Each structure stands twice: as structure tokens, then as C-alpha cells.
């Protein structure tokens, strides 16, 4: 009986550590799922087409103004707190800086290719890096995000491995990654209409 209780507890703990896939991400329009080398489902690409009439600014100018490809500092400091009470960090020795670079990679005809980083908050801050290919047509703009990766700013006692593919697991927050990418589109669209 004691062995059964230990086995049951072990299975419960291991099962509690797994995270189910987020079913809704497979239904999200414009999301392309692929598999990484380990066989995990990941966000491969995300595309969206937005209608636009008579933009006041150029696409390349708005991408350069609104997107950011600055350096990102990731650490394994411990983060405590929440939006409702005091929070603080406990410094640790390990931190890495992921260098940014030039945002615009290529402008060719109606196509603009850019690298950028954005972020979102879910109990801690997460950074999302991506490559954007934006194509201007007469009445719309196609936005294609590829090379989508994310990293948690603070990882506590765990080593911070930097940017990794976004898995379709609930604990990886693929829905919040898509929301963050949509906010990038909204910034560009707003700029185009100013």
C-alpha cells in the first residue's frame, strides 16, 4: 500500500508538471504550426492581411519608427510579486545580453523585411523576437511574421537559455505571443494613417 501511495504521488507530481497544448492556437487564423527537432509543435509563422486606403506615410518609414530591435538583457534573477503588491528582484550572477541591431533588413519594391523585439506580461515579462515581411498592395498590407521566438526576462533559479521557439503548450502562452504581434501590426497601421 505504501508503494502504491508513493507511485500515485509521483505520477500526480509528474502529470502536474506537464502542460497541455493550447487547442485554440491551432484554430487561430493565420497561424502556421511546425515541429522543432525534438518533435514539439511550435509557432512557425503568423500572417495577417489588413486593408488600408490612402496611407499618409510609407510602410518602411512606419516600420522603422514603430518597431524596435534593441538589445535585451535576460537574467536568472528571482522575481517576486504581482501587479497587486510589492515586487522585487533578488540579483544573481548569470545574465545574458542578446544584441539587437538594425531594424530594417531590406526594402525592395513594395516589400519591407525587418527584425524586431516586442514584449508581453504574464506574471513576468517575456520578450518576443521575430522577422517581419510586410508587403504593400493597392488596398491592403500583408504581414508575415517568421522566426518567432520568446524568452522570459527573469527565470529565477533556472538558467536563462535565451530565445527559444514558441511551443503550442499553454504554459508557453502562444496566444499572448500572437496578441503581441498583433499590437505591432496596430502600431504600424496607426502610423500609416497619421
Lowest pLDDT segment from 12-21, 84-93, 101-110, 146-155: 84-93
Say which range, 30-39, 94-103, 131-140, 184-193, has the weakest mean pLDDT: 94-103
What pLDDT, on a 0 to 100 scale, did the predictor assign at position 7? 46
Q: Which of 14-18, 94-98, 106-110 has the highest mean pLDDT?
A: 106-110
Query: Residue 154 pLDDT more than 90?
Result: no
Return the domain boundaries, the chain: 20-192
- Confidence label for 91 from pLDDT (cuts 50, 70 and 90): low
The secondary structure of residue 154, as a DSSP letter, is B
Band (pLDDT 50/70/90 cuts) for residue 1 is low
User: Which residues have CB under 8 Å from 193's CB, separation 6+?
Assistant: 52, 55, 56
Give the per-residue pLDDT at 78: 53
44 touches 34 (CB < 8 A): yes
> Among residues 171, 174, 189, 59, which one has the least CA distance to residue 128?
174
Q: Tell me the percentage of the chain whose pLDDT exceeds 70.
A: 81
4/42: higher pLDDT: 42
Cell (9 digits) for 70: 534593441
Q: Is the pLDDT of residue 172 over 50?
A: yes
pLDDT tens digits for range 41-85: 999 999 999 999 888 889 999 999 999 999 998 887 654 555 544
Segment 176-188 shows an average pLDDT of 98
Q: What is the largest CA-CA distance in the chain?
A: 75
As a whole number, mean pLDDT of residues 113-121 equals 97
Positions of E strands within 94-176: 95-98, 104-108, 111-122, 124-136, 140-152, 164-165
Poorest-confidence range of 4-8, 106-110, 130-134, 178-182?
Answer: 4-8
Separation of alpha carbons 139 and 53, rounded Å: 6
* Burial (CB count within 10 angstroms: exposed 0-12, middle 13-18, buried 19+), residue 37: exposed
Amino acid at each position: 500500500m505504501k508503494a502504491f501511495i508513493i507511485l500515485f504521488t509521483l505520477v500526480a507530481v509528474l502529470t502536474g508538471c506537464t502542460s497541455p497544448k493550447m487547442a485554440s492556437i491551432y484554430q487561430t487564423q493565420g497561424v502556421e504550426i511546425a515541429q522543432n527537432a525534438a518533435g514539439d509543435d511550435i509557432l512557425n509563422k503568423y500572417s495577417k492581411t489588413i486593408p488600408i486606403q490612402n496611407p499618409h506615410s510609407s510602410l518602411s518609414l512606419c516600420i522603422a519608427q514603430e518597431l524596435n530591435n534593441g538589445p535585451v538583457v535576460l537574467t536568472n534573477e528571482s522575481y517576486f510579486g504581482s501587479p497587486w503588491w510589492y515586487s522585487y528582484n533578488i540579483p544573481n550572477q548569470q545574465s545574458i545580453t542578446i544584441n539587437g541591431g538594425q531594424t530594417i533588413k531590406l526594402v525592395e519594391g513594395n516589400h519591407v523585411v525587418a527584425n524586431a523585439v516586442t514584449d508581453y506580461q504574464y506574471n513576468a515579462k517575456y520578450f518576443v523576437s521575430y522577422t517581419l515581411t510586410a508587403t504593400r498592395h493597392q488596398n491592403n498590407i500583408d504581414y508575415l511574421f517568421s522566426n518567432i521566438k520568446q524568452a522570459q526576462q527573469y527565470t529565477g533559479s533556472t538558467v536563462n537559455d535565451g530565445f527559444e521557439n514558441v511551443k503550442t503548450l499553454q504554459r508557453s502562452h502562444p496566444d499572448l505571443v500572437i496578441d503581441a504581434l498583433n499590437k505591432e501590426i496596430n502600431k504600424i497601421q496607426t502610423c500609416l494613417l497619421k
